[in-house]
Amino acid sequence: MTETGESSIEGGCACKAVRYRMHAPALIVHCCHCTWCQRETGASFALNAMIEAERVVLLEGQPEVINTPSDSGAGQRVTRCPKCKIALWSNYGDGDLVRFVRVGTLDEPGRFPPDVHIFTESKQPWVVIPSGQRAVARFYKRDEVWPKSSIERLSAYKAKRLASA
Ligand SMILES: [Zn+2]
Ligand SMILES: [Zn+2]
């Protein structure tokens, strides 16, 4: 879901100790079929809604950040509930600029279908990507896939963060 407009969507972990609210639509939603995501989820792919960190607001709880190995070697910081340890979002090598919110932790995950399937070269063989959905063997160039509004939103946000740093 990347259309602009009012958005206030909540989510949380399994034990309800951590609750959060997303104050904007996702910049983009990735369905990632890489083997790392398969291992981390124990499932066939990960579904992540990318969103500016400051637009993900904690309502309850104090999540913990766990450093986790990643394919690039740079590592991934996974934010988890301190009690039930469910992963809520993660960051890759950008400090805490953009969060990859685990769509399955949202109260209405069906509102966030994937905009693009990535790393389909390692997808499980039985996973069939619906025709007409954008899919790439590994990764993509941002300006070829992201909606213009999301590109503009991210660069405005980065400029603002830079100015206040
Ligand atoms: Zn929990
Ligand atoms: Zn992945």
Pairing of strands 116-118, 46-52: unpaired
Q: Nearest to residue 122, comparing CAs of 25, 20, 36? A: 36
Ligand nearest the Cα of residue 17 is: 1
Whole-Å CA distances, 70 to 25, 85, 138, 155, 164: 26, 19, 15, 25, 29
Q: Token pair of 63, please?
A: 């999540």
103 assigned to some structural domain: yes
CATH number at residue 21: 3.90.1590.10
Asked if the model's pLDDT at residue 3 lies above 50, the reply is: no
Q: Which pLDDT value is given to residue 7? A: 62
Q: What is the pTM of this model?
A: 0.92
Asked if the model's pLDDT at residue 92 lies above 90, the reply is: no
123 assigned to some structural domain: yes
For ligand 1, the distance from its centroid to the CA atom of residue 132, given in whole angstroms, is 37
pLDDT in tens, 49-75: 999 999 999 999 999 999 988 888 888
For ligand 1, the distance from its centroid to the CA atom of residue 13, given in whole angstroms, is 4
Q: How confident is the model at residue 1 (pLDDT cuts 50, 70, 90)?
A: very low
Q: Token pair of 138, please?
A: 């590994």
Q: Nearest to residue 40, comparing CAs of 66, 62, 12, 17? A: 66
25 assigned to some structural domain: yes
4 assigned to some structural domain: no
